[in-house]
Amino acid sequence: MMNKKNMLNSLVAVVTAGLLFSACTKDGPVDGTDVTAPSTATAKTGPISVCYVEVNNNNILNVGNYTLKNGGQQLFDIAIIFAANINYNTTTKKAVLFNNDKVTKVLSNKATYIKPLQDKGIKVLLSILGNHQGAGFCNFTSRASAKEFAQQLSNAVTTYNLDGIDFDDEYAEYGVNGTTQPNDSSFVMLVQELRKLMPTKLITFYYYGPAASRVQWNGQRVGDNVNYSWNANYGSFSAPNVPPMGKAVLGPAAVWINHTSASTAKSLAQSTKNQGYGVYLAYDLPGTNMATYLSSFSTVLYGDSVKLSSPLQSWP
């Protein structure tokens, strides 16, 4: 598994649309999943905040250590474990879900690393990333093969009591090991099959790679089965184009903590607020105190600064 951003410049709707955040309308989660702050504090008003953690290097628990200074709510609503992989079995010629040792440690110790975040009202997702083996979300050649991989993802969510799956179409290296190139139907079928298996879980889309230009096929749309999608180019403001998803579930602002300046993070937050978007993305939360940096956008989004409310956790 490689670092997510070496390339800085590179709902079937279910039942009814339920509650989202106070800033959101119809464009909310297909399953009505509520990812607001825990009931111990008044739900904060504004976009949801999403945080990826490179678990090769940092402890996922640190996502839950940041709260709004005056309101007491959790800063982050969604924590994403970065990342499991979509690998390719050259014998069976099938895509397989793979977890490296660090991801395995997090998942296998869900009571230690996942449940504490969920107890704070934070949804925990597993991101799936290519691994240079030719397998990706965009080259399934049949619905059966897409369904088979979707079943692996659903099984992982059930086994580890996760809140959903995040798709990141990077590093697949389509064509390696004799695999096929991206096609128009694959990603649509994969998301459809996963939604059937996970009607009440979150599915999110990191808007990048071949999948970003293959969100519609034969009148069927990825956006009918995805809860949220966000921009993948850090330091920029660019809304994903995933019909029929609207502003309330899109994140055009993305920051790479420690790389995107605090002034840019603040400006992107202001654009998010001014233009009525419902998601703000932060990537690569480190194991050091980032309260000052995180306050640069929280003060705009929520009218409140951030504090470190509990000690940071180290990661062996």
32, 21 contact by CB (below 8 A): no
Q: Which one from 54, 148, 170, 173 is the annotated catalytic residue?
A: 170
According to CATH, the topology of domain 48-308 is: TIM Barrel (3.20.20)
Please state, as a whole number, how many other Cβ atoms lie within 10 Å of the Cβ of residue 243: 11
Task: Give 6 or 240, the one with higher predicted confidence.
Answer: 240
* 253: pLDDT strictly greater than 50: yes
Confidence band of 293 (pLDDT split at 50, 70, 90)? very high
User: How many CB atoms are closer than 10 A to CB 148?
Assistant: 15
Model confidence at 109: pLDDT above 50: yes
Is 50 exceeded by the pLDDT of residue 27?
Answer: no
How do strand 250-251 and strand 228-231 relate by DSSP bridges? parallel
Q: Is the pLDDT of residue 9 over 70?
A: no
pLDDT per residue as tens digits for the range 123-172: 999 999 999 999 999 999 999 999 999 999 999 999 999 999 999 999 99
Residues in the chain, how many?
316
- pLDDT for position 59: 98
Number of Cβ atoms within 10 Å of the Cβ of 244: 10
170 has catalytic annotation: yes
Residue 28 has pLDDT above 50, yes or no: no
| DSSP secondary structure, 106-159, as one string | HHHTHHHHTHHHHHTT-EEEEEEEE-SSS--TT---SHHHHHHHHHHHHHHHHH
At 41 the pLDDT is 59
User: Each residue of 175-210: pLDDT tens digit?
Assistant: 999 999 999 999 999 999 999 999 999 999 999 999
Neighbours of 19 (CB within 10 A): 13
How far apart, in whole angstroms, are the C-alpha atoms of residue 267 and residue 252?
A: 12
Delimit the domains of the chain by residue range: 48-308
Task: Answer yes or no: are the C-beta atoms of 75 and 122 closer than 8 Å.
Answer: no
Q: Which two tokens stand for residue 266?
A: 């603040």
CA distances to 80, 85, 174, 197, 271 from 131, in Å: 18, 6, 10, 24, 34
Most confident of 29-33, 35-39, 227-231: 227-231
pLDDT of 35 above 80? no
The percentage of residues in the chain with a pLDDT greater than 70, rounded to a whole number, is 87
Give percent above pLDDT 90 in the chain: 86
Q: What was the pLDDT predicted at 111? A: 98
pTM of the model: 0.88
